[in-house]
Structure 1
């Protein structure tokens, strides 16, 4: 059984970030036409509006990662299976370590959540509901988040599904 809190020694984790891509999972949280974004407190993408998410842990199944991230970052348990949007690649010049870039392979899922309790503040200091139009127009929404909605709209329009 995978433990909820997995500790990787700091110098090893720095080496991992410096030398390998990380696999992460982001949740596009919807309430009708609105999308929940949080303003990031940590590098990379510090200070930008971003989706809720986190990295997938070694030996962690995707459904467990979704539930863990939803509980840790939203304080909720997901009901049902989120809709898979696609695979995205995020390349950053920075990371939590000075002088180290970050490379993510990002799996994005969409879920509808009707009721959110007090949202945790350790990854995002504030939250806001955006329409897709608002987030696409905002300079403070990270470009990688905008890519999700541009690609999803293209796939829906062409009827080709997700990539």
Structure 2
């Protein structure tokens, strides 16, 4: 997929919402979150994810994002959780807010091992209770579990 030049991407971010996918990676009743290194939501524990590129099918985007964020292929079943909206005052461009239309997918995974550190400085497996009670987990992550009909599979 073709990536946009920074000046074109800044114009897109300033004037349109972005479509993104968040991967709710679960294992043994826990959810994998990464502490974000970059805006938006810098410093918060957040699900792994990324934006969908033009002409990229959702299933292709899920596979690409999983490879980019974890270095692994999608093996587990992908369960669509729902559509969410994320609005941020900050973003990668100075004085430009970011608006995401977010598609959330839950995927059961095996042990992840060492994970890339270009987007996240650390990773942690959270129980649902830990995730919901931690002020360091971004509220948008908590929305996946307060608006979802089910819970984390065991």
TM range, smaller chain? over 0.9
Q: Segments of 4+ in structure 1 off by > 6 A? A: none
Do structure 1's residue 116 and structure 2's residue 91 form an aligned pair? no
Who is 2:93 aligned against? 97
Q: 1:129 aligns with which of 125, 136, 147?
A: 125
C-alpha RMSD of matched pairs (Å) = 1.1
Give the whole-Å Cα distance in 2 for the aligned partners of 1:56 and 1:117: 26
Gaps of 5+ in 2: none
User: Which secondary structure does the structure 2 equivalent of 1:76 belong to?
Assistant: coil
Gaps of 5+ in 1: 158-163
Query: TM (normalized to structure 1)?
Result: 0.90
User: Which secondary structure does the structure 2 equivalent of 1:77 belong to?
Assistant: coil
Per-residue deviation at 1:80?
Answer: 4.4
Aligned residues: 151
Per-residue deviation at 1:79?
Answer: 1.6
Who is 1:45 aligned against? 41
Give the whole-Å Cα distance in 2 for the aligned partners of 1:75 and 1:32: 20
Do structure 1's residue 156 and structure 2's residue 142 form an aligned pair? no
Is the contact made by 1:75 and 1:116 (CA closer than 8 Å) also made in structure 2?
A: no
